[in-house]
Amino acid sequence: AIGIDAFTISINNRAILTGLLESLGLADKTTPVLRSLDKLGKIGRERTANEMVESAGVTAEQSDAVLRLAECDGDAESILASLPEITGGNETAAAGIERLTQIYRGALASGVSPERLKIDVSIARGLDYYTGVIFETTLDELPGIGSVCSGGRYDNLAGLYTKQHLPGIGASLGLDRLLAALESLGRLSGVSKPCAVFVPFFDKGHRDDYLKLASQLRDAGIGTEVYPEPKKLGQQLKYADAQGFAVAIIAGGNEWEAGTVQVKTLATKESQDVAYSHDSPQALIEAIRAATS
């Protein structure tokens, strides 16, 4: 719907990894092992193996067995068929394999395209509260941007807050990454600036006056942004031009003392002095409406 048609949802089941670690005698080192494994795609096999040995205290043989599982590749059915042997027949892993199989086949039966769905047993999702299915979504055109939608099942997380057994599945969307991807792919259309008026903050002693002025304009239905810190006026006007504001309201010490402000139309660079005080903002409001109509 947002213009990205080529994406892949990779799924795994945390129980498969957990079961393998149980069979390797690493059940008490699950969290550091999984956090290391989660970096496999970023830092490669050798560095992941080294980190696993150093941070989790596993042996080289144990890290090799974990990576052998993570590197299991091929089509979905061949991966599923190979997992029981790789995990050594562990019961926890067997339950995870069965559930992963059911999710994959059920998704296809529900109409999900096999091109969209991939079984990837290297996915670890380093957070230790995941207990079942885990998934990550990547953009086929921009795989380097990372996951844009990830999550999984957690059976026991709610137990931190209630005695009820409340399993759930959660996911989060990477909105910043999606926006960055859309921009990179040239699929973001131009949008108008939501605020019409920009108020430069360049006289440090009049901060509250700028804020009061902006509040009065907002009360009149005029979208207004105040620059968040005192800087040189030229820098702030350059920012206003780049952001597409229609009007800048310029007021320094002399203007505040004289009871006027400068209304500057940014597109034409034309300015006019307008009477203004906190007790009498109407002339400024009318001038802004005329300048932005």
pLDDT of residue 27: 87
Let me know: does 250 contact 264? Beta carbons within 8 Å. yes
Mean pLDDT of 103-108: 95
pLDDT of residue 136: 94
Mean pLDDT of 158-170: 85
In this predicted structure, the answer to whether residue 192 has a pLDDT above a threshold of 70 is no
Closest listed residue to residue 178, CA positions, set 222, 148, 215, 136: 148
| Domains defined for the chain, CATH in brackets | 7-184 (3.30.930.10), 197-292 (3.40.50.800)
Question: How confident is the model over 39-90, as pLDDT tens digits?
Answer: 887 888 999 999 999 988 889 999 999 999 988 989 999 999 999 999 988 9
Mean pLDDT of the chain: 91
Q: Report the distance separating Cα 139 and Cα 148, nearest Å.
A: 8
Q: Report the distance separating Cα 199 and Cα 218, nearest Å.
A: 12
Instruction: Provide, rounded to the nearest whole percent, the portion of the chain with pLDDT above 90.
Output: 67
pLDDT of residue 285: 96
pLDDT of residue 2: 84
**Strand blocks (E) in the chain:** 7-13, 117-119, 133-139, 149-154, 168-173, 197-199, 224-226, 247-250, 260-265, 270-275
Mean pLDDT of 191-198: 78
Mean pLDDT of 200-222: 95
In this predicted structure, the answer to whether residue 159 has a pLDDT above a threshold of 80 is no
Q: From the CB of residue 18, how many other CB atoms can be counted at a distance below 10 Å? A: 23
pLDDT of residue 188: 83
pLDDT of residue 256: 94
Reported confidence tier of residue 141, pLDDT bands at 50, 70, 90: very high
What's the whole-model pTM score? 0.66
Reported confidence tier of residue 29, pLDDT bands at 50, 70, 90: confident
Mean pLDDT of 205-209: 94
Reported confidence tier of residue 95, pLDDT bands at 50, 70, 90: very high
Q: Report the distance separating Cα 3 and Cα 5, nearest Å.
A: 6
Reported confidence tier of residue 99, pLDDT bands at 50, 70, 90: very high
The pair of three-digit structure tokens given for residue 284, joined into one six-digit string: 């400024």
